[in-house]
Structure 1
């Protein structure tokens, strides 16, 4: 029974993995700068990442080849059909390979149609690693066997084998999520790697984690010339002959459109054959897509653990303690002198406004930076001179007035000079000393607090 849905499988995969895809994309792209200058002086961290992702591609690509190259039980090889559907040269069909997944003829035809050998990445990954490390095939195989048996990677590889043996159609999820991803976030990663510079790629990496296998000097490395992968670019993709191209074959495709034509062909074939999938098979593919992205996130976490000891400890940001300086002591002395002068001037003038004196002196005292000392002293001298000049200036003509109680000047209408009623003036005249005492106490507290803070 074919699927009744009207949406394409690709659209359903994108919808089912949207939130997970966004998170994994940020997770992976945020790690790319850690493997490049200036955080890394050689490609060791990048190689370690490839060693953790290579077994994933090797596992599902090998299972795919096993399925399309084997003949289902009771059926004859249909090589002519394979060539007609895909237009590619496929491995010859074999009698049921030992350990190969059992697959129906219908599912096998779908996988044969979707098979594009130019999209498979295992051989290119191996070539990149060998070029950067100088390892032989035997050394590389030992590193792969050691790494694939560790942590979340080992669990994911076991899951891939079990899932494909039980539901071979879930290989569609792996092809879409791991091969098509090379045309999305993979382009950003490739561009970042290409900007690392020739010196970065020419440097022989230090022993590769987690196995700490040493790298072999490459021919021309001592002269600052990087050797290239045996997988040379054969397509006219306009990429030129940059030294890093020999190490980034995994991200390149041999076609006039740098793989965009392969991507288009794959999606066209998927759209053509997806209607032959059942509703349950489509659901299995969507579920497996989510598992794939979750597993990639776990592998990134495993890599973080491998390089955890190299994470630089950020020094805690501390506010430097300020020691009392001569300038601060001088400022306090200036503050006390100004307070005394202001008090004497105000007392000579009679009842003043103590709150004004407090506000002026407090604002001036808050300027405790050394560079402001000269300006503030100049302001202080200006204020003192201004007050004295006002006191000794010639008096202006004063209209006839009479004084009330407490020496307060009265107008002819019986009110004070400021126009206040007499009962308020009486209260103010009776409490000038109390007001000054309170003001002095407040100023004393401010001086003491400033002394404690500056200390």
Structure 2
């Protein structure tokens, strides 16, 4: 558990109610992206494509900030080519201070970033060549995705320290809630993840790799400790923010964390709108939590996963192909991981 007076502790406290709001949108979705409700990973892939823009945008901006001035942008399609300088002139303002650049350069341990793994998974799941995948990712799948990415670029340019909010929310989500998601995804079996995953996957090099390296590598970390060493290193490095950030910068980071949850909920809602769904009219009972033995607060294992009960009508509604689509998989990514953060 994080110290409630630390920056991570304050982020957790400030976003707790937003966790609950997002939870209402996604708790029914994770099981429905997997067998027996679907026979291949296309639903998961659709959601991953929709949500990949967020990781790729903030990580590419981060890399561009800490790179040498003469270095080319790490992801020009996402960082610059989609930006209209007349619509966002603030994005071409003065660079961050050398002190801020040094802090951001040393904050992320090796093995923490997810962009390369995201792209590898998408190449495997879609069967696209890396160049074709880059072209696909250069197009926003929805207005709210575009708004989210523009918000990230605008705020990072003016207040680069808000990248800490993205690091804490999204990386810690993969460490904590992501472990639960990964365990559920892996239960579907190797055959499921290699079904209809692209025209060339049967003969490609990636098809010969384990899912932890290609297909579901986003949720995995290199090394014998499955990322626990990386997590501990990241949290230790983040302690420097306690003395480095000014009070105003600290507030900026906390407020940005709130925006992360609001924008993520907006992505789920956008998908529902595009699919002509109406969650309010679903006959889905409120989640039911089975009684659990009391556990000391803060004790390892105290986090209890709720049991979700769905009516048969709701399950059949979700199984309609036009409904399950990206909404199911995006719920897994945007919501479950963030909501199951155990810091």
* Cα distance in structure 1, aligned partners of 2:313 and 2:174: 38
- Aligned-residue offset at 1:288: 0.2
CA contact 1:131–1:246 (8 Å) conserved in 2:
yes
1:199-223 CA deviation, whole Å, 9 max, x = no partner? 3112105xxxxxxxxx424216xxx
Higher relative contact order (Cα pairs below 8 Å, separated by 6+ residues): 2
Equivalents in 2 of 1:183, 1:139: separation in Å?
30
For 1:252-308, what per-residue CA distance to the aligned partner results, in whole angstroms no more than 9, with x for missing partners?
A: 000221111111101101113331100000000000000001111111222334555
The aligned runs of 1:65-80 (5 Å cut-off) are: 65-70=63-68
Number of equivalenced pairs = 265
TM-score by length of 1: 0.53
Q: Structure 1 315/64 Cα, relative in aligned 2: closer, same or farther at 3 Å?
A: closer
- Aligned partner of residue 199 in structure 2, secondary structure: coil
2:186 aligned with 1:203: no
RMSD over equivalenced CA pairs, Å: 3.2
Query: C-alpha distance in 1, partners of 2:130/2:185?
Result: 24
TM alignment of 1:380-395, pairs within 5 A: none
Equivalent in the alignment of 2:286: none
Map 1:228-377; keep pairs closer than 5 Å.
228=206, 241=210, 246-308=214-276
> How many angstroms apart in 2 are the aligned matches of 1:40 and 1:201?
11
Retained in 1: the 8 A contact 2:212–2:220? no
Q: CA deviation at 1:71?
A: 5.3
| SS of match in other structure, 1:246 | coil
CA distance in 1, matches of 2:205, 2:28: 29
CA distance in 1, matches of 2:241, 2:166: 16
Per-residue deviation, 1:69: 1.1
**How high is the TM-score relative to the length of structure 2?**
0.69
For the 8 Å contact 2:4–2:13, the answer to whether it is kept is no
Change (3 A) 1:171 1:20: same
Task: Verify the 8 A CA contact 1:60 1:174 in the aligned structure 2.
Answer: yes
Contact 2:10–2:254 under 8 Å retained in 1: yes
CA distance in 2, matches of 1:140, 1:286: 34
Match of 1:22 among 20, 23, 30: 20
SS in structure 2 of the partner of residue 33 of structure 1: helix
Measure the CA separation in 1 of the matches of 2:4 and 2:183: 37
Secondary structure of 1:216's aligned partner: coil
Work out whether 1:61 is the aligned partner of 2:30: no
Deviation at 1:35, TM superposition (A): 1.2
What is the CA-CA distance between 1:42 and the residue it aligns to? Answer: 0.8
The residue aligned with 2:186 is 194
| Aligned partner of 1:126 among 112, 115, 119 | 119
Q: Which of 160, 163, 166 is the matching residue for 2:158? A: 166
Please tell me whether residue 144 in structure 1 is matched to residue 137 in structure 2.
Answer: yes
Is residue 116 from structure 1 mapped to residue 147 from structure 2 by the alignment? no
Q: What's the CA shift string for 1:367-395, capped at 9, x where partnerless?
A: xxxxxxxxxxxxxxxxxxxxxxxxxxxxx
Distance 1:108 1:189 in 2: 33
Q: Is 2:30 aligned against 1:32?
A: yes
When residues 155 and 35 of structure 1 are mapped into structure 2, their CA distance, relative to the original with a 3 A threshold, is same
Structure 1 residues 256 and 159: alpha-carbon distance in aligned structure 2, compared to 1, 3 A threshold: same
Task: Report SS of the residue matched to 2:272.
Answer: helix
Q: CA deviation at 1:107?
A: 1.5
Structure 2: gaps (5+ residues):
75-79, 81-90, 284-311, 315-343
Counterparts of 1:115 and 1:245 in 2: how far apart (Å)? 21
Q: Which runs of 5+ in 1 are unaligned?
A: 73-90, 92-96, 206-214, 221-225, 233-240, 317-455
Aligned partners of 1:68 and 1:112 also within 8 Å: yes
TM superposition shift of 1:54: 1.1
For 2:28 and 2:206, the matched residues in 1 are separated by 28
Larger Rg belongs to: 1
* Contact 2:34/2:41 (<8 A) preserved: yes
Q: Distance in 1 between matches of 2:173 and 2:137?
A: 23
